[in-house]
Every structure is written in structure tokens, then in C-alpha cells.
Structure 1
Amino acid sequence: MVASVAVIQGAGGSLGSHFCRHLLKQSSLSVVATSRDPSAARRAILEGLDGGDKLESRLTVLEVDATQEETIKKAAEAVKKEFGEKSLRLLINASGVLHADKSIASLDAAKMLHTFQLNTFAPLLAFKHFYPLLPQKNDIRSSDAAQSEQDPANGMVQPGLGVLASITAKIGSIGDNKKGGWNAYRASKAAANQTIMTLQRELSLRSTPSIALALHPGTVVGTNLSKPWTKPEDANKKPGHFDAETSTKMLLDVIAKSKQEDGGRFLNYEGIEIPW
């Protein structure tokens, strides 16, 4: 069976819901969205979306609190039961939080822990529990996955390839740190980047036909994370500033162009490499 499921972790936010919308419109993949509030996430994904019942029939929304491992585990088990043991084609971790500490003196232990729970631990635990659903080489050979005309991804993922991705941030780049500040956020995103590289090493060692990617979405205006720091009028006008629809489309284009040899890369919305 061809892997035909895309999982978007954190689908209740602006980025997550727009990833789901693009995938429903542009592919034939079954889209599994996870959120603490499934009803609100479903509304955000489907509101104003052309296609009606046909698109909605490909959407599954599961309740997940990304800070609670057991809920992530249950979601992976639900996907396995509904779609099969080797059904995962694409996983995007889209949840995140920013507690904007301005200096070392302003750090708060509880907020630091919450930052790492959502930005680092949650994506890593999603990889842990969904990883077993990735096809192996023998599964790909015994299917029609290599034939792009039969591929439910419709070009949004390379034929025969799986993708595990996390939305990190350029601010997590140690090599690009020019201003300092936002200690916990920077550190959590740098740690998330390290988990991508480590995951890629494991995928390569096990000869799994899947890759891991760290992706920078730009400054996305209008999200809960960015509202205090952005202006709506900057979207798609100020360099590197986008609305959620544009940012997610650009990132999906980056994923669509990524091949086996691109595994373990840290890329921005234009597919340009960012220093670790």
C-alpha cells in the first residue's frame, strides 16, 4: 500500500491549519490534524475551503496536548488503526510558543520549561511515536509508490519518499545569532534543530527512504506567537514577512523539491540553507 497520510501536529494554530488546507486542496493524501481543541481546529481548516464534503472526508482531527506524551502516542495508534502500519508519508510539527525574555535576568523557570516542552520535546515525541508508521525500502519496492502518476501526494512529496519536518526558526541558528535575547526560545529552537540532524542520522543508518528537515517559515504575521511583534500590513510586503497562507505554501514547495540527499538540512521558506 502506498503511504498516503500527512500528519500536522499543532493544527489549531495559523501555520498548522494552513498546512492542512494546502494539503487538502493540492494532494489526495489523507490529512490528520492534531490539536488540543479538535472542534476549533476543524473549523479553522475547513472555513471557506472550496470542495466541501469531498475534502472534509479526507480530514481527521485528533485531540492532542503536545505537552502530554500519552496523547501523542494515542494519536499515532489511531492513525495506525485507521490507515495501516506503513501509512505515513509526511509529518510536520507546527506547534510552538514564545515567551520573550529580554535578558538572562528576566528568565522564568516555568516559562523556560513550557518553551522546551512545545518547541523541542513535543516534535521529538511526535517523531518517536509516528516513526514506526514510515514505510521501509521493502514496502516501497512492493508498492506502486515510485510511480508519480499513482502517488496521492500529487508532487507535494517526491515519489517513494517520506518527510519528517519541524518548523524551527532562523533565530535558533547559533551561527546567525547577532543580537542575543530571547534565550529560552533561541535555545529551544537550536535544540529542535539538533533533533532533526540526529533523526536524519538514524534514518540514514536504517536505510529508511525518508528524510528529516528543519524549516524556517519567515516572520509570519497574525499568529498567536508573532502578534506582539508584527504588523498585519507587513505581510508579503516587508522582506521575510508573510501571512500564514503564503508561508505554508512556500514551505510545502520546499518540501516538494526535497530529495533523499537533502535530509538533515536547515532551510528557509525559499529553500536557502541556514547556518546551524
Structure 2
Amino acid sequence: MLSHLPENFTAVVTGANGGIGNAIIRRLLTDTHVGNVIAVSRSAISPQDSFPQEPFSKEPSPNVEVVNADITTQSGRDTLNQQLNGRPVHLLFNAIGTLHDDARDIQPEKRLEQLDEASFAHVMHVNAATPALLIAALKSSLQGKHPAIIASLSARVGSIGDNVYGGWYSYRASKAAHNMLMKTLSIELTRLNKQSIVLCLHPGTTNTLLSKPFQARVPSEKLFTPDFVAEQLLKVMSERSPEDTGSFWDWAGESIEW
């Protein structure tokens, strides 16, 4: 599945309770090359219920370690780092993000006057700052001489060159900032680990809670299942090499302009 990675590799997946994060873990569990999967979620999950042994597999499931931690906080990132305890991480897949939040009264802005300072700061923190802070927290597990893929979910609307419709100020800005942070840290990580590959990934419109309020106008063939997206994104990751580090790709393996 991920031929760049060694036998018994260690994977960390954040947003393990979300649609895409959960589907990525399920896909990884079908790969006999996987050693440990660390499933990180803000809410409690059961590895037995969420990530069952595949019935057709003759091999035992890899060891799933569940870490209940909110990685948008320093304490949550510290908890994950303590769980790893210096182990090399070969795959870090970040699937957390926010677009709307009823509890905080956050919705994508259609007009400039809808910009709200607190909402903007929250969206920027979750979508842009948190992935970079997560990678900084796990830096000791990512540097070295081992192959390492660091993939973080972005969005096509974060492309400045592709912005022809406007709107969605906070979300667009947060994903554009996310992409710049990933590009910048990819340069530093190359100096610390020449086998590192940092990728920004656009999953397409996926049938998850994040996109739920905005699916009405999406053609059925353009609304993807989390399982399909997981399969596609793992394929995209498998086709990349260290020369591709700091790049932006969609679910179909097409490069996206910044």
C-alpha cells in the first residue's frame, strides 16, 4: 500500500473518530506491513468497535493504540508525544479540521461583513496552526534516517490561484495558511530527514459531518464516501517520493496550484 515505508511501520492518525480519519485507519489495518497504528481522537473510541479485525484477513490485526487527546491544545499534543515515547513515526496523517461549528456559531462567510474576529481566530487555530504545532511536537519522532510520510488534509478552496468564487473567508485563509506552513516545514524536515515527504491533500467533497450542510448542490457522483477517499489518498501518498515533499495534491493524484 505504502511501498516507501518499511515493514512494521508506525502510523499516527489524528481525527480517528471522523469519517476520513476512521476510514484511513481501517484501510491501514488491511496492510500487513503495518506494525502499530496510533489512533488519536478528542472523544473516546473503542478499537474493537471502530477498527475490527477484517474477517477475510488471515493475519492478526496490527496493534491499535487509542489516544484520547485534543491535539488543538498543548496538553493534548504532549499526551500524544508521551504515548510515542521517542518511537520513530513513519506515517503521520492529520485529518482534523473545522468548517462550521454550531456551538460557536461559526459558519462559512458569504460576505465580508460576516467576518468575526473570534470565529476567524478559531478556524485559523484548528486548520492552520494545529497541524504545524502537531508536527513540531512530534519532530523528534519524524527526524532521522527512516522513511516518513507526513500528510495533512487541506482543501482546494485554500488555493489562491484557484479562487474564482470568493466567500468562505476564514476557511479559505486557514487552508492557504495551512499549505504555507506545510511547505515551509517540509524544507526544514528535509534537512533533518532526507526521506521525509510532506503532503497537503485535498480529499474532495466527502460525505462527513464537515460537509453535511453543504451537500445539497453536490452531484451524487462528486460526493465521495470516506472509504473511497481513504483508498484514493493512500494511493496518492504511495506514488510520492521525497522529491515531492512540500506539494499539494487532490484525491485523483492531480497537482493543485498554490
TM-score per shorter chain, which class?
0.7 to 0.9
> What is the total number of aligned residue pairs between the two structures?
244
- Tell me, yes or no, if the aligned pair for 1:123 and 1:166 is still in contact at 8 Å: yes
Unpaired stretches in structure 2, ≥5 consecutive residues:
1-5, 101-107
Q: CA offsets per residue over residues 118-171 of structure 1, 9 Å max, x none?
A: 11111111101112112523xx4xxxxxxxxxxxxxxxxxxxx21111100000
The structure that is helix-richer by fraction is 1
From 146, 151, 163, the counterpart of 2:149: 163
TM-score normalised per structure 1: 0.81
CA distance in 1, matches of 2:167, 2:34: 43
Q: CA 1:180–1:208 in structure 2 vs 1: closer, same or farther (change >3 Å)?
A: same
CA distance in 1, matches of 2:216, 2:238: 30
Question: Is it true that 1:225 corresponds to 2:226 in the alignment?
Answer: no
Q: 1:98 deviation in Å?
A: 0.4
The residue that corresponds to 1:119 in the other structure is: 127
Q: 1:25 deviation in Å?
A: 1.2
The residue that corresponds to 2:196 in the other structure is: 210
- Tell me, yes or no, if the aligned pair for 2:154 and 2:175 is still in contact at 8 Å: yes
With 108-117 and 121-130 compared, the bigger mean Cα shift is at 108-117
Question: Is it true that 1:261 corresponds to 2:217 in the alignment?
Answer: no
Q: CA offsets per residue over residues 91-114 of structure 1, 9 Å max, x none?
A: 011011103111111122222122
The residue that corresponds to 1:32 in the other structure is: 38
Aligned sequence identity (%): 34
Q: SS of the counterpart of 2:160? A: coil
Q: SS of the counterpart of 2:11? A: strand
- Tell me, yes or no, if the aligned pair for 1:24 and 1:58 is still in contact at 8 Å: no
Q: 1:271 deviation in Å?
A: 1.4
CA distance in 2, matches of 1:242, 1:118: 24
Q: SS of the counterpart of 1:166? A: strand
CA distance in 1, matches of 2:53, 2:216: 24
The residue that corresponds to 1:175 in the other structure is: 161
CA distance in 2, matches of 1:265, 1:119: 17
The residue that corresponds to 1:91 in the other structure is: 92
The residue that corresponds to 1:246 in the other structure is: 228
Q: SS of the counterpart of 1:219? A: coil
Q: 1:242 deviation in Å?
A: 0.9
